[in-house]
């Protein structure tokens, strides 16, 4: 009898284990997690935006926030950055709601993918979603096999998002294949988004009690007494977004190169070297956030190499080659025919700006080249003798190096003795070494 009861107990326990194992785990509630993190994305979708969203997701996970709300208003943007954002949203351990707001806002193009990838998709009245057909980098239709390939890839991405989030994949797919747009109410009726919320308070109210399927498991939303905190772009992110424009990058690169050339021709000035180095660093910082053509970058580097070679040889042909390489490189630098989504501004430098920068580059190249030739001629014993004994004045302190003006020209100079020479002091030339004068202070 005892044995039978033991076996019966074992059988009951085993049945309970098997029954429990066959059931889905119950979602965990968020009774202790009542902080909601808000961010606003009201710009184009690019690598700066992608980095900001990644930062927000990381912050929300580290701080164990109950929810991350992304208030979205975007005309679209880069396909590659959009894919990375989608991956971040689908892999997040924190529930994420994307809210298209305020009234008149849109989740166009890239925004369609981002809205669909959220755990909860909501729109304010008077907003719209859609028009997500890929186009070329210059804003035109791609056409041909490439068009079909890129469109199929984008359609497959939007379908996989729909399957993951339980949305209407057919309706989302037509936003890619036929560039269809939906109003907020149409999007709700088509089961593209979850609901319409008039403001953030209404958003949280409607989210209360809903279940979010995150990468960490199912979570029930408890928004009844949720507190809010806001995350904005860091100063670094804002600065990179400001620098990452083709026009500013072109200007910074040109100014940086020219400043370095001036320093090479007049060693010891220091200021051109500092300015040039800063401009080049900022140019490459911005360039790292944009798609660019390597051939254009190589040509711009070749232009710099030609000018440096001209400093050593004085050959005018190198100067001409430098200007041509600069113009062609500037034209090609942002000529990258990669698929993008509508709404992203065309990445190219205006022909007017290229013309102005090329003219400035040519003028500096000619002036520097001419000065090099003139200096080399002066290095002839008879010519250098013409400089010795000439007088002028210091244009900077010589400690011991600095600059002086002699024979109506600016020269790099060094003090020949220990007598201090200040700005404005009269000097006389006592020698010439290469491109550098040796001077002494004279008395009026």
Within a domain: 352 = yes
Per the model's pLDDT, the better-predicted residue between 126 and 312 turns out to be: 126
Residue 218, SS3?
Answer: strand
73-77, 91-95, 174-178, 321-325: which has the highest mean pLDDT? 91-95
The mean pLDDT value for 76-103 works out to: 92
Within a domain: 408 = yes
Contacts of 39 by beta carbon, 8 Å cutoff, 6+ apart? 52, 53, 56, 68, 69, 70, 71, 230, 231, 232
Question: pLDDT tens digits, residue range 328-373?
Answer: 888 877 765 555 554 445 566 777 888 888 888 788 777 766 666 6
Calculate the CA dihedral of residues 233, 181, 195, 23 and round it to 10 degrees. Answer: -90
Question: pLDDT tens digits, residue range 226-256?
Answer: 889 999 988 888 888 888 888 888 888 888 8
What six digits make up the tokens of 197?
């919320």
CATH of the domain at 124: 3.90.226.10
Per the model's pLDDT, the better-predicted residue between 53 and 46 turns out to be: 53
The mean pLDDT value for 280-294 works out to: 80
The mean pLDDT value for 131-154 works out to: 62
What six digits make up the tokens of 427?
């000097």
> Given this model, what pLDDT does residue 287 score?
81
Of 378, 393, 412, at which residue does a domain stop? 378
What six digits make up the tokens of 334?
């942002």
β-partners of residue 410 are 405
Residues 227 and 127 occupy one common structural domain: yes
Alpha-carbon Rg for the chain in angstroms? 33
Residues 138 and 210 occupy one common structural domain: yes
Within a domain: 7 = no
258-267, 370-379, 423-432: which has the highest mean pLDDT? 423-432
> Given this model, what pLDDT does residue 375 score?
61
Which residues form the domain of 111?
Answer: 26-233
Contacts of 170 by beta carbon, 8 Å cutoff, 6+ apart? none
Within a domain: 134 = yes
Within a domain: 139 = yes
Mean of the per-residue pLDDT values of the chain: 80
pLDDT band at 384 (very low <50, low <70, confident <90, very high): low
Of 378, 401, 424, at which residue does a domain stop? 378
Scored b (16 or more CB within 10 A) or e, 323-346 reads bbbbbbbbbbbbebeebbbbbbee
Residues 164 and 196 occupy one common structural domain: yes
Within a domain: 15 = no
Residues 186 and 163 occupy one common structural domain: yes
> Given this model, what pLDDT does residue 22 score?
40
* Cβ(261)–Cβ(280) below 8 Å: no
Q: Is the pLDDT of residue 171 over 90?
A: yes
Q: Comparing 134-143, 153-162, 218-227, which segment has the lowest mean pLDDT?
A: 134-143
> Given this model, what pLDDT does residue 305 score?
84
Residues 321 and 393 occupy one common structural domain: no
Spatial distance between the Cα atoms of 18 and 156, rounded to a whole number of angstroms: 38
The mean pLDDT value for 20-24 works out to: 41
Spatial distance between the Cα atoms of 257 and 266, rounded to a whole number of angstroms: 14
Within a domain: 135 = yes
Contacts of 208 by beta carbon, 8 Å cutoff, 6+ apart? 221, 222, 223, 224
Q: Is the pLDDT of residue 326 over 60?
A: yes
> Given this model, what pLDDT does residue 164 score?
93
The mean pLDDT value for 376-391 works out to: 65
Within a domain: 11 = no
Q: Is the pLDDT of residue 146 over 80?
A: no
> Given this model, what pLDDT does residue 336 score?
59
pLDDT band at 377 (very low <50, low <70, confident <90, very high): low
> Given this model, what pLDDT does residue 179 score?
83
Q: Is the pLDDT of residue 15 over 70?
A: no
Nearest CA to 246 out of 334, 343, 161, 373 is that of 334
Residues 128 and 105 occupy one common structural domain: yes
Residues 79 and 95 occupy one common structural domain: yes
Q: How many domains does the chain have?
A: 3
Of 178, 199, 233, at which residue does a domain stop? 233
Q: Comparing 17-31, 175-189, 308-322, 408-422, which segment has the lowest mean pLDDT?
A: 17-31
Q: Is the pLDDT of residue 14 over 50?
A: no
Spatial distance between the Cα atoms of 212 and 120, rounded to a whole number of angstroms: 8
Q: Comparing 68-72, 308-312, 399-403, which segment has the lowest mean pLDDT?
A: 308-312
Residues 111 and 32 occupy one common structural domain: yes
Residues 227 and 287 occupy one common structural domain: no
* Cβ(263)–Cβ(273) below 8 Å: yes
CATH of the domain at 404: 2.40.50.140
Q: Is the pLDDT of residue 417 over 90?
A: no
Residues 219 and 74 occupy one common structural domain: yes
Nearest CA to 254 out of 262, 145, 386 is that of 262
Kindly report the CA angle at 28 between 120 and 54, in degrees rounded to 5? 45
Nearest CA to 38 out of 61, 74, 64, 70 is that of 70
pTM for the structure as a whole: 0.67
251-255, 264-268, 270-274, 290-294: which has the highest mean pLDDT? 251-255
Question: pLDDT tens digits, residue range 180-208?
Answer: 899 999 999 999 999 999 999 999 999 99
Q: Comparing 32-41, 130-139, 289-298, which segment has the lowest mean pLDDT?
A: 130-139
Q: Residues of the chain with pLDDT > 70: what percent?
A: 79
Residues 174 and 292 occupy one common structural domain: no
H or E segment and range at residue 299: helix 294-313
Residues 127 and 223 occupy one common structural domain: yes
Q: Is the pLDDT of residue 315 over 70?
A: no
């Amino acid at each position: 009898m005892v044995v039978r009861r033991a076996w019966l107990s074992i059988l009951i326990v085993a049945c309970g284990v098997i029954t429990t194992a066959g059931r889905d785990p119950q979602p965990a509630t968020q009774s202790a997690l009542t902080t909601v993190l808000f961010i606003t994305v009201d710009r184009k979708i690019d690598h700066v935006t992608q980095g900001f969203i990644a930062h927000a997701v990381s912050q929300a996970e580290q701080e164990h926030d109950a929810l991350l709300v992304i208030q979205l208003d975007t005309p679209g943007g880069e396909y590659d950055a959009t894919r990375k954002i989608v991956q971040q949203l689908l892999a997040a351990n924190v529930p994420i709601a994307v809210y298209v707001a305020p009234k008149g806002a849109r989740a166009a193009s890239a925004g369609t993918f981002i809205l669909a990838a959220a755990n909860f998709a909501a729109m304010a009245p008077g907003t719209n979603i859609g028009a997500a057909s890929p186009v070329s980098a210059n804003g035109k239709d791609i056409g041909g096999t490439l068009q079909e390939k890129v469109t199929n890839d984008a359609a497959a991405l939007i379908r996989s998002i729909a399957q993951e989030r339980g949305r209407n994949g057919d309706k989302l797919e037509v936003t890619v294949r036929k560039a269809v747009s939906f109003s907020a109410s149409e999007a709700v009726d088509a089961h593209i988004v979850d609901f319409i919320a008039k403001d953030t308070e209404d958003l949280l109210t409607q989210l209360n009690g809903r279940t979010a399927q995150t990468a960490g498991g199912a979570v029930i939303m408890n928004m009844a007494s949720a507190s809010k905190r806001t995350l904005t772009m860091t100063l670094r992110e804002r600065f990179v977004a400001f620098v990452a424009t083709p026009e500013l990058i072109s200007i910074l690169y040109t100014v940086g190169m020219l400043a370095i050339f001036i320093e090479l021709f007049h060693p010891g000035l220091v200021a051109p070297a500092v300015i040039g180095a800063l401009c080049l660093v900022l140019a490459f910082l911005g360039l790292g956030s944009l798609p660019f053509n390597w051939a254009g970058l190589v040509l711009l580097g070749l232009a710099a190499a030609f000018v440096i070679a001209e400093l050593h040889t004085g050959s005018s042909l190198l100067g001409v080659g430098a200007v041509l390489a600069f113009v062609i490189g500037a034209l090609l630098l942002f000529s990258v025919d990669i698929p993008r989504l509508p709404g992203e501004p065309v990445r190219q430098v205006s022909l007017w700006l290229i013309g102005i920068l090329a003219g400035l580059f040519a003028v500096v190249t000619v002036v520097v080249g001419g000065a090099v030739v003139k200096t080399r001629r002066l290095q002839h014993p008879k010519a250098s003798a013409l400089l010795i004994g000439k007088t002028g004045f210091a244009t900077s302190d010589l400690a011991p190096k600095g600059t002086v003006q002699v024979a109506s020209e600016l020269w790099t100079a060094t003090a020949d003795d220990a007598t201090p020479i200040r700005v404005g002091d009269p000097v006389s030339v006592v020698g010439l070494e290469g491109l550098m004068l040796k001077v002494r202070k004279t008395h009026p």
